């Protein structure tokens, strides 16, 4: 059992990678018009759980994406079991149950996502359901980042209160950008199927609204970097610079795909960038929170650490 518990770290990383990959493959399903390649759910057709030749390449693509969900489930369950054993076998008065709680959220989130994905098919790719499906994936990626940091994040003091509040503001702004990105997608051409309905919103107008939110996010991130540098908060500074780099690359991809009329490859790459924005903006918040890699601090030690951080 100790050996299984020792797998928790690589399994937590696998959880993060798998949840990111499923976002990319889901994007591939959409841009290839394969969203209804399997026209029903949970079966692929009314008669079969698997795709058959009559469904063509779209059926194969959609069914392949469904099969990836089982990989995610396997990884999530293995991580959950390892986290449970990690907690049970831990020595000392305080058992580290936080990783188990986070692994449980991911383990429950994967089947929940499968059900939401089923509703996207049953509602003929309703753009609002599709958007919710993507945003849940982004949230799961954030939870996976918290789990990875909980297990092997860098030792750091708490950031000054003002800087800590700014990290949360950056995260909130990132989520506004992610949400507006789904609105742009829901009004644009890549619906996942030629007959799927759109939101009815003007895609050009929504693209400009989305761009304004991106400008706000970049400005806040720049402010975070400058504030962290002045405060000598190295961990926050590094996390902020990483997020800023992701934002600039994501912005480059976004503007390029806009002016090239949304080529499929760039749309999928933009979805990968969105997943990275979710991950790195979560890491920014974590960078402002105290973390010790040693023994749990006593109350007096923790108070002293917080005082010195201020």
Q: Which residue has the tokens 């993060």?
A: 16
**What pLDDT, on a 0 to 100 scale, did the predictor assign at position 45?**
85
**What pLDDT, on a 0 to 100 scale, did the predictor assign at position 310?**
40
- The reported pTM is 0.88
**What pLDDT, on a 0 to 100 scale, did the predictor assign at position 5?**
61
The pLDDT-based confidence of 149 (bands split at 50, 70, 90) is very high
Distance CA 251, CA 259 (A): 12
Task: Compute the average pLDDT of residues 180-189.
Answer: 87
pLDDT score of 294 more than 60: no
**What pLDDT, on a 0 to 100 scale, did the predictor assign at position 245?**
97
- C-beta separation of 10 from 148 below 8 A: no
Q: Which residue has the tokens 């540098």?
A: 229
pLDDT score of 261 more than 90: no
pLDDT score of 304 more than 60: no
- In DSSP terms, which residues pair with 156 in a beta bridge? 291
Lowest mean pLDDT, pick from 35-39, 54-58, 142-146, 214-218:
54-58
Q: Which residues of 153-163 are buried (b: 16+ CB within 10 A; e: fewer)?
A: beebbbbbeeb
Cβ neighbours around 303 below 10 Å, total: 11
| Domain ranges within the chain, ordered by starting residue | 1-152, 155-310
């Amino acid at each position: 059992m100790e050996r299984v518990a020792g797998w928790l770290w690589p399994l937590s990383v696998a959880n993060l990678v798998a949840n990111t990959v499923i976002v990319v493959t889901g994007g591939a399903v959409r841009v290839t018009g394969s969203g209804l390649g399997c026209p029903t759910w949970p079966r692929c057709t009314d008669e079969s759980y698997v795709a058959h030749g009559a469904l063509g390449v779209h059926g194969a693509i959609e069914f392949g994406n469904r099969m990836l969900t089982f990989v995610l489930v396997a990884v999530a369950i293995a991580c959950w079991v390892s986290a449970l054993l990690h907690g049970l076998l831990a020595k000392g008065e305080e058992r580290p149950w936080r990783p188990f709680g986070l692994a449980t959220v991911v383990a429950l989130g994967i089947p929940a996502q499968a059900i939401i994905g089923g509703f996207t098919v049953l509602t003929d790719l309703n753009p609002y359901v599709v958007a919710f499906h993507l945003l849940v994936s982004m949230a799961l990626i954030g939870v996976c980042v918290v789990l990875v940091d909980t297990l092997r994040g860098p030792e750091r003091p708490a950031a000054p209160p003002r800087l800590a509040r700014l990290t949360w503001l950056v995260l909130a702004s990132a989520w506004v950008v992610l949400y507006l990105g789904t609105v742009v997608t829901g009004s644009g051409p890549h619906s996942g199927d030629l007959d799927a309905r759109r939101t009815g919103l003007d895609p050009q107008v929504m693209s400009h609204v989305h761009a304004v939110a991106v400008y706000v996010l970049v400005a806040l991130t720049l402010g975070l970097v400058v504030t962290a540098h002045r405060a000598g908060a190295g961990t926050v500074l590094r996390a902020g610079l990483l997020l800023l780099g992701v934002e600039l690359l994501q912005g480059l991809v976004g503007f390029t795909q806009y002016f090239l009329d949304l080529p499929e490859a760039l749309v999928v790459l933009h979805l990968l960038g969105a997943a990275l924005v979710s991950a790195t903006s979560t890491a920014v918040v974590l960078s402002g929170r105290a973390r010790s890699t040693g023994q749990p601090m006593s109350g007096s030690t923790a108070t002293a650490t917080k005082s010195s951080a201020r």
